[in-house]
Amino acid sequence: MKVIFYVNAFFSLVFALGVLFGKNPLRSALSLLLFFISISLYFFFAGSDYLGFVQIIVYAGGIIVLIAFVIIILGLRRESPDFDISLRSFVGIILLALFALGVLYGMGKSILHFVPQSPYFDTSVAGIGDAIFSRYLLPFEVASILLLVGVVLAFIFAKKEV
Amino acid sequence: MNPVFRDVLITGVKIAIVIGGMLGVVAYLTLMERKVVAYIQERLGPNRVGPWGLLQPIADGIKLFFKEDVIPAHVDKVLYVIAPMIVMTMAVMPFVIIPFSKRFYLSDINVGILLLLAISGINTYGVLLAGLSSNSKYSMIGGLRVASQLISYEVALALAFVGIVLWSGSMSLVKIVEAQHTIWNIVPQIIGFIVFFIAALAELNRIPFDLPEAEAELVAGYHTEYSSMKFALFYLGEYANLTAMSAIITTVYLGGWQGPWLPGFVWFAIKMFIVLFVFMWIRWTYPRFRFDQLIGVGWKLLVPLALLNIAITAILRIYI
């Protein structure tokens, strides 16, 4: 089990780097797809089949198709990433790296403290439904209203006359 | 014998039976389709190769094997080769969780319905990548149409599944079949069944929703540039998807292996072939939709109907 986990972690990294450094936008989208599938494997390892499959359905099945759509509509050009580093951007990169390290350190600390206190471990479908409709009802509804606002806004942007 | 080894052996034999049986069914579906269309159009259909044309699929297979495998110079080679593999693999996957009889199934996972949705989500990429990697305008438009069509109809399909899950109280296919002991799901879920069936037609790219490969406008759509065995994989994948979808409909709506007198496996096969026949019947009866009509039907008719079905099911579950 542990070996599979580390192999999967390695491949997640490879696919994530493939997204960043791929020259062909379509292949980048494809490695993003593989990256999402490997992420879903973590959920399976954690014993939550439900979240794993939802991850595949929503991200792999929905979002990447939309990304592929955008690539088709904007044209399949080969983009060469621009690595022309000047002094100013060099300083910027260093500052960004320091900032990222700080964020990672903070996150690592808070996650280490946070995980054992997480109140729900029941990750079955019934357990998640229970959590959504009782304890986390308010955040769930707020999130759904946020999504609804997003949908309405998308319509307003897409259509010139509403 | 070592128990681990024995388990692996048994599972391996089961997988071989399922895959082999399914590929056999798929090969002979091509013959069945041609026989059915011949019957509908009052002609004889293939009858030269073997008695009643029974060896026709084998002859077709051999022909496709020995054709030259052309990879056009202008394609994205890696994606071009991967695409038909994705189609065929994802078409076989649903059989992992379908219960063929009371005891014979490969695996029973408690979120089986979600697995089916995930598979159909990944399945989109096979045709989409074929369309995009071919670098030809017909393939490109075919791929574009596939993407929008599958995305639209997956929503209706998933919402129809929600009705089933509410009614049966489980996402495991084995439990869903057992819950249909007294009455098949098609009766209380008739609206859901209609939505599911129409959405399934669209997911399978069959007439009246076969716009991704509309030969009148797009030559052959996303597989225009494919030849030989790669073309055959698309063709077989299409029929494997058809078989899988019929098996899913049988399991989820028609009571699966349940039925009197005959053994479960026989009932499953009978029901599955009736569904397959209805799919073929529709294909050779109706003309093709226009593309805006297709998207309109998906979002403005099927999705509201599926939501209505969920509301009705929820009310029935509470008060009955």
A84: in domain: no
Task: State whether residue B29 is helix, strand or coil.
Answer: helix
Task: Name chain B contacts of A62, Cβ cutoff 8 Å.
Answer: 121, 151
* Residue A1: count of CB within 10 angstroms of its CB: 5
Q: Are residue A60 and residue A8 in the same domain, yes or no? A: yes
What is the dihedral sign for C-alpha B98, B117, B143, B134? negative
CATH number of the domain at A6, please.
1.20.120.1200
Q: Give me A145's structure tokens.
A: 């209203």
- CB neighbour list of residue A33: distance below 8 Å, 6 or more residues apart: A60, A64, B125
Residue A116 is predicted with a pLDDT of 44
The verdict on residue A86 lying in a domain is: no
Cβ atoms B269, B246 nearer than 8 A: no
Per-residue confidence (pLDDT) for residue A110, from 0 to 100: 64
Q: How confident is the prediction for chain B on average, in pLDDT? A: 84
Of A50, A60, A66, the CB nearest to B121: A60
Model pLDDT for residues B227-259, shown as the tens digit of each residue: 777 888 888 888 888 899 999 999 888 888 887
Domain boundary among A51, A76, A101: A76
In-domain check, residue A101: no
What does the alpha-carbon distance between residue A79 and residue A56 come to, in Å, rounded to a whole number?
Answer: 28
**Closest CA–CA distance from residue B265 to any residue of chain A (Å):** 29
Q: Rounded CA gap, B257 and B268, in Å?
A: 5
The sign of the torsion formed by the CA atoms of A101, A16, A35, A47 equals negative
Per-residue pLDDT of B5-47, as tens digits, reads 888 888 888 888 888 888 888 888 888 888 888 888 888 878 8
Residues B176/B163, Cβ–Cβ less than 8 Å: no
For residue B80, the surrounding DSSP H or E stretch is helix B77-92
Residue-wise burial string across B10-38, b where 16 or more C-beta atoms lie within 10 A, e elsewhere: eeeeeeeebeeebbebbbbbbbbbbbbeb
In contact, B151 and B255? CB cutoff 8 Å: no
| In a domain? residue A109 | no
The reported pLDDT for the residue numbered A162 is: 56
Q: Which of A19, A53, A76 is the last residue of a domain?
A: A76
CA dist., res. B151 & res. B132, Å (int): 17
- pLDDT tens digits, residue range B77-88? 788 888 888 888
Q: How far apart are CA B129 and CA A72, in angstroms?
A: 11
The whole-number pLDDT of residue B214 equals 66
Give the pLDDT score at A117: 44
Q: Domain residue spans in chain B? A: 70-319
Contacts of A124 in chain B (CB under 8 A): 110
Return the pLDDT at A118: 47
pLDDT at A83: 56
Percent residues over pLDDT 70 in chain B: 98
Please give the pLDDT value at position A146.
95
Ordered alpha helix ranges (H), chain A: 2-21, 25-45, 49-55, 64-74, 87-114, 125-133, 137-158
Q: Summarize pLDDT for B173-182 with one digit per residue, the tens.
A: 888 888 888 8
Contact by Cβ (8 Å): A72, B143: yes
Contact between B221 and B139 under an 8 Å Cβ cutoff? The reply is: yes
What pLDDT shows up at residue A77? 61
Q: A142: domain range?
A: 118-162
Are B125 and A33 inside 8 Å of each other by CB?
yes
The ipTM assigned to this model is 0.78
Q: Please report which confidence band the pLDDT of residue B92 belongs to, taking 50, 70 and 90 as the band edges.
A: confident
Nearest-CA distance A65 → chain B (Å) = 7
Q: How many domains does chain A divide into?
A: 2
Q: Are A68 and A127 part of one and the same domain?
A: no
pLDDT band at A85 (very low <50, low <70, confident <90, very high): low
pLDDT in tens, A123-144: 677 888 888 888 888 999 999 9
Res A115: pLDDT: 47
Q: Of A12-26, A36-50, B34-48, B216-230, which gets the smallest average pLDDT? A: B216-230
The answer to whether position A70 is within a domain reads yes
Q: What is the mean pLDDT of residues A27-56?
A: 85
- Over the stretch B36-73, which tens digit does the pLDDT of each residue have? 888 888 888 788 887 888 888 888 888 888 887 777 77
